[in-house]
Amino acid sequence: MADSILQARAEVHRSFDNLMQWAESSARRSFWEFEREAWSRLMTLGCAVAVLFLARAAARPRPARYRHEGREYFLEGHRTSPLGTRFGKVSFRRLVGRRGGRQKTTCDLPVDRELDLCGGFSLGVVAPMVRLCAQLAFASARSTFAEFQGWAPSPRATLRMVDSVGERARPFLEQLGRPEDDGEILVIQVDGKGAPMISEQEMQRRRRPHRKRSGTRRAGRRLRRREQPRKRRTKGKKSKNAKVAFVGVIYTLAKTPDGIEGPINKRLCATFKSHDALFAWLRREADKRGYGRKRTLFIADGLDHIWYQQKRYFRVSGTFSGSVSEGIPYVRKA
């Protein structure tokens, strides 16, 4: 560990000297070129400082035997893996805890837990990435992050971040109080959307590396069809493999001298469970936003099950029904 700390410190000094030599060089360049190159070199210096910090953290003395979540672990061996930071990816070497010296059991990473690392990424990467995904489209979030940081997590890693943080964010959002700047009209929308699904076999097949193609693309397609023939669909079977997601939106509209303004404080929920689970969430949010005291509009298409659940959870005298493509919606009595 002492050698790694000395190497990391030497790399910090080397990166800093290179940065100073470049900044003091007499080469002519525009300020745009200077900013772009300086940012890249500062990120390199930041990576070197991060490696030094991680080496110091990993070298702290720790007991050889410890307990975590009721299980006993022994510090045996090291693990080296890349760690995504705000400056870029760095190599991180630290001790590994194993249960009773078993090499094939799930290991524990006490140093990662002490540093609040999140599955190979720092919290400074996960929090901005998830926030961008909540505000922008998935691809736009990654490109925006890469524009400022010079790199971005892979699509699969980004999806893991969103899934993990979203699970923890749900209880936090549930306990939030009523928004202070809410409007006077409460609007609830419900619809169903098909989410494409693939089988486990198809997912494993897509993860395989591409094979070298010999011949034309048409010959390659024929070879794949012979290796993986499709089952013939019988009468009435559809080719679509989508699973319906139940989507609900709740927001308010404000009355202004110029007309109606909104949507305000829009919240969206989508689930694969059932309409009942979605309406239970909508009723909790509606009560929080003033349902029963505000004029309420319920917007949906003509699916009978949606209106059945609406009668169970809401009692609105007049609600609007109809999709946007139908043009002017009509009033359907509850």
Q: What pLDDT, in 10s, does the model give residues 226-280?
A: 887 877 778 777 666 678 899 999 999 998 888 888 899 898 888 888 999 999 9
The first and second tokens of residue 328, run together, are 């002017």
Q: Is 0.85 topped by the overall pTM? A: no
Listed residue (58, 76, 42) closest to 8, CA to CA: 58
240 SS3 class: coil
Residue 2's pLDDT is what?
A: 62
- Element of type H or E holding 288: helix 275-288
pLDDT band at 329 (very low <50, low <70, confident <90, very high): very low
Question: What's the average model confidence in pLDDT over 94-123?
Answer: 83
Mean pLDDT score across all residues of the chain: 84
Helices and strands: H and E segment counts in the chain: 10, 9
5-55 tens-digit pLDDT: 899 999 999 999 999 999 888 788 899 999 989 999 999 999 999 999 999
Neighbours of 166 (CB within 10 A): 13
Written as one string, the DSSP assignment of 104-160 is: SSPPB-HHHHHTT--SSB-HHHHHHHHHHHHHS-HHHHHHHHHHHHS----HHHHHH
What residue spans define the domains of the chain?
Answer: 2-114, 123-173, 181-194+242-333
Fold annotation for 181-194+242-333 = Nucleotidyltransferase; domain 5 (3.30.420)
Write 199-204 long-range contacts (CB < 8 A, 24+). none
Given a cut of 70, is residue 61 above it in pLDDT?
A: yes
